[in-house]
Amino acid sequence: MARRDRRQPRGRSVRGAAFRWVPVLLVLALLGGAAAAYHYDLGTRWFGAAPDAGPTSPPVPGLTLPPVQTPRAVARPAPSGRPAPSAVRRALGPALDDPDLADLRAVVAPLSGPPVLADGRGASMPASTLKLLTATAALEVLGPDHTFATRVVAERRRSLTLVGGGDPFLAGKRPAKAAPGDASLQTLAAETARALKGRGVRAVSVSYDASLFTGPTVSPAWPDSYVADSEVSPITALWADEGIAPDGSREADPAGSAAEQFAAFLRADGVDVAGQVEERTAAPAAREVARVTSLPLADIVERVLQLSDNDGAEVLGHQTGLAVNGHGSFSGGVAAVRQTLSNLGIDLQGAKIYDGSGLSRHDRLRAETLVDVLQLASASDHPELRSVVTGLSVAAYDGSLADRFDRSPGRGWVRAKTGTLTGTSALAGLVTDARGRVLVFAFLSNHIPPTGTDDARAALDHLAATLAACRC
């Protein structure tokens, strides 16, 4: 077969070839115009919105469709109202009489309203359940979004002061997975070095200011052994890693140690630090060079409650004192917590409070007070307090309840704050019963024999688990 000659025949005009592209160009123009009209909504802008035309086609003759049904709720709403007091007492009766629970105070209530069960009278040593009061007061006074800043200021070109802002979780080294709010001295030093080099400064002196908190760094209501036994660090407005040294011991001078770390990080970032790091109070007019900012208070409260963090709770007490009465101290914090809770309507009858963590063996609370605080934090008209509830550990899952309630009906249904001191065991929180109703409880047991702590804790867990299984 002869090969077709595809060359243009002689004599065909260029104009004829051009006309062949006219339809293509028209199609492209129409497509472009349609796209522009759709993207910029030109039809509506030029001609106004078209009326609703209704169905695009008439119904098919003979086709009958069933009416649209309103879908049922995915889950039933949680039951409300008060459980039957007789049912609660009948369910808890044997567990309340457990001989491992010496001098027991037990209160159970719905999410709002008076208790349906109250066993035992008077105030008891609350141990770490006292942290619920400190956290509630701090959130109410400061707000859940409040943060704490650690700053570096300069009074002269080559003189820096590290100023503590009372960040309870300021770190030394930068976390491996840094995130917003992961404040560290290493990050602060890097920001400071960058600012100094931008001004041509390569050598400085460093001092530190921890004057935000006042009074003793160790509560007079604590045994002398607490710091030596690593129960708690000296409470100060400036520290790194809660005043815990790399070997796990507590720093005798957390503020001075933090300043030395900061100076070492500065040197690693290429800034000479001359002389000794010394304590001094920064001038109010000193120019800020750099800062790092803590996590929001709501996140701090969750961490303090979940881990039962004594150091963090004491810092929150001091911060509450600063905000309410201007005194960032143990006494200022206690006065502020009492005033704030009283203003919120919490009955503190019989309460004796000496610190923010519950470490003092002189602290006393009624179980009713703990229930009142948890009801308040759960109330819809106090959303600022919600992290008191979300900070409660979940049974057999996290925090101080991670290794408790195993193979128990309370597993996953109990959220609570624990409390343990020699001779004392406590549990206060929320539980969902077998009907889906949320109950609030507080159990305090004092005068436990030294060898009976584990048995008492198991008995308290059994009380809460019994509520979880109760069809009250």
pLDDT of residue 157: 79
pLDDT of residue 61: 75
pLDDT of residue 156: 83
Is the entire prediction scored with pTM above 0.85?
no
List of domains in the chain: 85-143+299-469 (3.40.710.10), 149-295 (3.50.80.20)
Q: Catalytic: 360?
A: no
pLDDT of residue 286: 96
Q: Catalytic: 131?
A: yes
Q: What is the mean pLDDT of each run of 10 residues along the chain (472 residues)?
A: 40 45 50 52 48 57 76 65 90 94 96 95 96 98 98 92 98 81 90 95 96 97 91 97 94 97 98 96 96 97 97 98 98 98 98 98 98 97 98 97 95 97 97 96 96 95 97 88
pLDDT of residue 68: 78
pLDDT of residue 45: 44
Catalytic residue among 184, 219, 294, 308: 308
The DSSP code sequence of 89-115 is: HHHHHHHHT-TTSTTEEEEEEESSSS-
Q: Catalytic: 400?
A: no
